[in-house]
Amino acid sequence: VQLVESGGGLVQAGGSLRLSCAVSGFTFDEYTIGWFRQAPGKGLELVSCISSIDGTTYYGDSVKGRFTTAADNAKNTVFLQMNNLKPEDTAVYYCAARHPSCFSATFDSPEESANYWGQGTQVTVSS
């Protein structure tokens, strides 16, 4: 099983980046894919989630209206389009897979329900 993130980098505030999470080793449409981030000295934060099973999406309050997640089932890839980036978006971004439903921020530690994780990609937003 592999989840491989790409697309991170350095961008100025107000700019955009698109992260990709390429999945292999399990049946893509049986899992949901979430994006988490971890800023220096902080815990993991659930950013978004998408279910290719029923089209459900979730966004954290801090990214609503700026980030969009989408899935390309043919390519077993999930994207996170990040627009109007802010310095506080600086973090390592991870994708994670969960079966059978999306991660929920209702729980204190949604990351504990992940089945698989990627290695992470750094996003740095300069002011």
- 3-state SS assignment for residue 127: coil
| Mean pLDDT, the chain, whole residue set | 95
pLDDT digits (tens, 9 = 90+) for 20-32: 999 999 888 899 9
| pLDDT at position 119 | 97
Picking from 41, 21, 9, 5, the residue whose alpha carbon sits closest to that of residue 119 is 5
Q: For 7-120, list the strands marked E by DSSP.
A: 9-12, 17-24, 32-38, 44-51, 57-59, 67-72, 77-82, 91-98, 116-117
Give the pLDDT score at 96: 97
What pLDDT is attached to residue 106?
83
Backbone angles phi, psi at 104, to 5 degrees: -130, 130
Indicate whether 108 pLDDT > 90.
no
Query: Both tokens of residue 99?
Result: 């079966």
- Cα–Cα nearest to 94, from 17, 31, 8, 1: 8
Q: Tell me, what's the pLDDT at 60?
A: 96
Asked if 32 and 103 touch (Cβ cutoff 8 Å), the reply is yes
Question: Tens digit of pLDDT for each residue in 58-96?
Answer: 999 999 999 999 999 999 999 999 999 999 999 999 999
Residue 107 has pLDDT above 80, yes or no: no
